[in-house]
Chains A and B, each alone.
Chain A
Amino acid sequence: MQEGETLGVVGETGCGKSTLGKAILGILPARTLVAGKILFRGRDLTQLSNLMYRRIRGEEIALIFQDPMTRLNPLMRIQDHFLEEIHAHESVSSTEARTRAREALVSMGIHETRIRNYPHEFSGGMRQRIMIALALVLKPSLLIADEPTTSLDVIVEAQILDILQDLKEAYHMSLLLITHNLGIVAEVCDRVAVLYAGKLVELGSVRDIFHKPLHPYTQGLLSSVIHLETKELHSIEGSPPDLIAPPSGCRFHPRCSYAEPICTDKIPPLVEFEPGHFAACHFGDKFL
């Protein structure tokens, strides 16, 4: 990712989007096998000790989750959520911590008198805003938003997206937006990464992805959006594979209308078919 950009990560349910977010933060379940590298500002996160990783979480990289209703401790006041987070990372006085908590809440458009309320006293949209405030109070440089608006209605969704945009500019933050909603991606993202069955199948700028999709899966995704006028609905044949025993070669080949024998045998490498536009398909150049 580039500094200051918004990268959208799209894919179906179960393709590994959330796992990606949690892997970056190192909060996958304890016995998960993690292979490979996660490079953040020159450091490989997979090599970090627990202590160092804990410092990064919230301070340099923050993650907001999809379901705001269950992500706040019901027994703790909102103020305590902030105080605990601030104290876990910095040694500041209680007064200063409380001030920062209040400011963070107000910047989200929630009145500061509500700081002593409990989570159940807020609506879903407000809880999501509180979560965003908690994620940003330490001013991280990368915010990972895992389907932040999926469980919210469209009006609130628009508000949240606006907030994320504004904050991105105000804090010079990068945003990794994980979503299955292509509409949001088109509106908000600079670049897009498309995931299928746990693999990256295409990566490029928003224009390239939407106007010149190289991978058949991306093409399928784009045409599966209901057409505004004709109201046609095309879907991709078949269903996502079982990740425990995925198809050989290209994982998409069972559902791909362009599949050839080579697709079953050889895993397609991620190739830069044009500057900044990558795809993992043996026949990517056919679609240029």
Chain B
Amino acid sequence: MLSWIGLGTLIAFIFIGIFGPVLVSVDQTKALAYPILLPPSLQHWMGTDGIGRDVFARVIWGTRTSLEIMAIGALLALIAGFPLGLLSGFVGGKLDRLLVLVMDSVYAFPGLLLAALIAAVIGRGIFNIGIAITVIYIPLYFRVTRNQTLSTREELYVEAARALGARSRTIMLSYIAYNVVIVIPVIFSLSAADTILTAAGLSYLGLGLEIDIPGDWGRDLSDAQRFLGSGIWWTSLFPGLMIILLTIGLSFLGEGLNDIVNPLLKKERG
């Protein structure tokens, strides 16, 4: 099933991200470590790039970079967006109206553009890019959580609990949050997939990460562009492939989870 492929892919990438850099020395990713533009061979499984770096090493270290950005971005967005959505949906009123206005405004911005602006303001680095991406994804978590909260709030068992003297706080946490949390893994997977693409996009544009970072798929793609005409395919194919595989894997995971979770939601209401 889709979610298993996705989960497997994600786990594989996490594995690479954690253990890869341990096995592959960072020196291989430094400029002029090797002769430039060597095609794939036994010594260099994916060849070397335009400034003499081993492509395989770059790809491995790039996995760690991408996963770090993804973790920071998607997780912080969840930590910020979920409680805000819950509160906003549950309490309603002026707070709700204000938050929805703010979130919708951020949501209306093209993601890449906004992330680039934020990166320009707060500077480069993995953590800063993570923050920039967090900001553009908070509205997604906020909106989904708020919608779930609004509908769960009207459930008849919530009214019954209130009739027995349940506190508002209890209702919000035990009753509503519990129900809403179900949807979160789906959104997390799908937004994580998007995060990878956004981060790669930023790097491709030359924004966000430092120039000498050991691994950066997007930047590698950008660097590889000028060599495509000369028939040098290995410097662009492998980073690009990694981006695609991880994104598709996460999408599969998200879609698969969605298939599992949504029938449950439908059955519960019926």
Contact = CB atoms under 8 A, between A and B. Distances in A.
Interface residues of A, number: 27
A172 interface: no
Interface in B143-159: 155-157, 159
Given A70-B156, A71-B156, A84 B163 contact: no
Interface stretch (B19-27, B48-56, B170-178, B239-247): B170-178
B231 to A, nearest CB: 59
B90 to A, nearest CB: 12
Chain A contact residues: over half helix, strand or loop, or mixed? helix
Given A70-B157, A72-B157, A57 B175 contact: no
A76 B165 contact: no
Nearest to A70: B156
Best-surrounded residue of B159, B162, B165 (most CB of chain A within 10 A): B165
A3 to B, nearest CB: 21
A71 B160 CA distance: 6
Contact of A73 (B157, B165, B167): B157
Contact of A57 (B155, B156, B157, B164): B164
A281 interface: no
A84 B156 contact: no
A85 B165 contact: yes
Contacts of B162: 27, 57
Nearest to A51: B167
A131 B156 CA distance: 13
B156 A67 contact: yes
Interface residues of B, number: 18
B166 A65 contact: no
A161 B162 CA distance: 24
A59 interface: yes
Given A70-B156, A73-B175, A75-B179, A57 B165 contact: yes
A55 interface: yes
B157 A25 contact: no
A75 B178 contact: yes
27 contacts: A22-B163, A27-B159, A55-B165, A56-B165, A57-B163, A57-B164, A57-B165, A58-B164, A63-B163, A65-B156, A65-B160, A67-B156, A70-B155, A70-B157, A71-B156, A71-B159, A72-B160, A74-B268, A75-B178, A75-B179, A76-B178, A84-B170, A85-B165, A85-B166, A88-B164, A88-B166, A131-B160
Interface of B: 155-157, 159-167, 170, 174-175, 178-179, 268
Interface of A: 22, 25, 27, 54-59, 62-63, 65, 67, 70-76, 84-85, 88-89, 131, 134-135
6 closest residue pairs by CB, A with B: A58-B165, A57-B165, A58-B164, A71-B160, A70-B156, A63-B163
